[in-house]
Amino acid sequence: MMRPMLVEFPGDPATRTLDRQYMLGPDLLVAPVFTEDGEVEYYVPEGTWTSLLTGESVTGPAWRHETHGFDSLPVLVRDGAVLPWGADEGRPDGDWLDGLTLRVFGPSAAGRTVTVPDLTGATAATFHVVRDAAGARVTAEGTTRPYRVCVEETGATGEGAGRVTVP
């Protein structure tokens, strides 16, 4: 899950010395804040990234310098990511399909497959996401429970079970 930037971006020489940021899974860049004043400098690899906390779009390659409070840090989502977002913010071991939102980031989310585990680690549901000019189409396998889809850059949402299309 957590790996050095060099492993994800071996062709980018700027990632060779990055020891204060990491990738969490294939799509999240995390840059922890280590200073008392909240200042952090981090590198954004090539591509379009979206701040998970603010929604700001960032294009790399670029170095960023930001100041964060005690309740924030740089967490960027790679273009094309689909993040399953559970509704239960009180417990990490809740039913992840209960109130599930699939957050779709960027137009290159075409052909992405996302699995959501159950509490034992087995696959509870699989979602196939297709992005094209018509929007995002999501098909669910393994569950008939309702879920929501949110296309982050447009703010468009859709709800349903089995199949959802968001313009």
Domain count, the chain: 2
Among the candidates 27, 55, 78, a domain finishes at: 78
Co-location of 97 and 157 in the same domain: yes
> What is the per-residue pLDDT across 12-41, written as a single tens digit (0 to 9) for each?
999 999 999 999 999 999 999 999 999 999
Rg, Å, the chain Cα set: 17
DSSP annotation of 89:
-
| Spatial separation of the C-alpha atoms in residues 12 and 38, rounded to whole Å | 27
Using alpha carbons only, what angle is made at residue 83 by residues 29 and 7, rounded to the nearest 5 degrees? 35
User: How does 131-149 read in b/e, with b if 16+ C-beta sit within 10 Å?
Assistant: beeebbbbebeebeeebbb
The CATH number for 38's domain is 2.60.40.1180
> What is the per-residue pLDDT across 68-123, written as a single tens digit (0 to 9) for each?
998 999 999 999 999 999 998 888 788 889 999 999 998 876 689 999 998 888 99
Among the candidates 49, 78, 107, a domain finishes at: 78
State the amino acid at position 77 in one-letter form: V
pLDDT of residue 108: 76
What are the backbone angles phi and psi of residue 13, rounded to the nearest 5°?
Answer: -60, -25
- Cβ atoms 86, 145 nearer than 8 A: no
pTM of the model: 0.91
